[in-house]
Amino acid sequence: MVFPADPVAVRQALCALFTGWTPGPISSEARDAAQIVLAEALNNIVEHAYALAPGEIEVTVEATQGGVTCQIIDAGVPLPGGALPDGRLPSPAAAEDLSEGGYGWHLIRSLAEDLCYRREGGRNLLSFRISAQQSSE
């Protein structure tokens, strides 16, 4: 699936992928986790990789017995330092000082396995797997 890097196109892509997902080997927990991780990864690409110039995103999603594998390719700028952010939660704060951002990579890191990022031929390749067996956490 290829679509332009903007928030509305991301929403439409996620709805196309996850609405009417037929029950099978993938539990609803794994499906929810896959949608959350994909959404965060795609929003990051829209917001950061394509912050300065528009572009396209290519997504491949495959459901197997073991879970859901996803690959995302974009031609935006590389991740800072060429590495995945560590996804630490914003430090706990008083209610009035709560951070309104900084939760995306934490969600990705919490839910995805085999997270892999590389830069190849001017493109960013991100892949990950959502286990069919979701722990209670």
Q: Please give the residue ranges that form the binding site for another protein (CB under 8 A).
A: 7-8, 10-11, 14, 28-29, 32-33, 35-36, 39-40, 43, 46-47, 89, 92, 95-96, 98-101, 103-104, 106-107, 110-111, 137
Cα(75)–Cα(119) distance, rounded to whole angstroms?
A: 10
Q: How far is CA 54 from each of CA 23, 57, 124, rounded to the nearest angstrom?
A: 36, 10, 15
- CB-wise, 14 or 77, nearer to another protein? 14
**Beta carbon of residue 60, minimum distance to another protein (angstroms, whole number):** 20
Residue closer to another protein (CB basis): 42 or 63: 42
The answer to whether the beta carbons of residues 127 and 114 sit under 8 Å apart is: yes
- Complex with another protein: residue 32 or 56, whichever CB lies closer: 32
Helix pair angle (28-44, 7-18), 10° resolution? 160
